[in-house]
Amino acid sequence: MKENNDDYFYINGQHYDYEIKARNSYESIPFYVKQVKKYGSPVLELACGTGRITIPIAKEGIPIVGLDFSAKMLTQARK
């Protein structure tokens, strides 16, 4: 089962954001931005995926690095 899950995200990096948006997972982003502003930077986000949290933090001018196992997810994050 784990291989199937890994393959799904490897192949479908470009579709991941649509699925997450459908689950209303973007509601937590202001929380993370607030925490970074409160506790400081730089930030390292592990398993950053397509940058759902990494990108909004970077847009605030906060130094952040995102790491992910899936090259497809990172490619999508860079777009």
14 near 72, Cβ under 8 Å? Answer: yes
Kindly report, residue by residue over 25-46, the tens digit of the pLDDT: 667 899 999 999 999 999 999 9
Q: How many domains does the chain have?
A: 1
Domain range for 17: 2-78
Full-model pTM: 0.69
pLDDT of res. 1: 43
45 near 63, Cβ under 8 Å? Answer: no
Domain with residue 38: its CATH number is 3.40.50.150
Residue ranges of the chain with per-residue pLDDT less than 50: 1-2
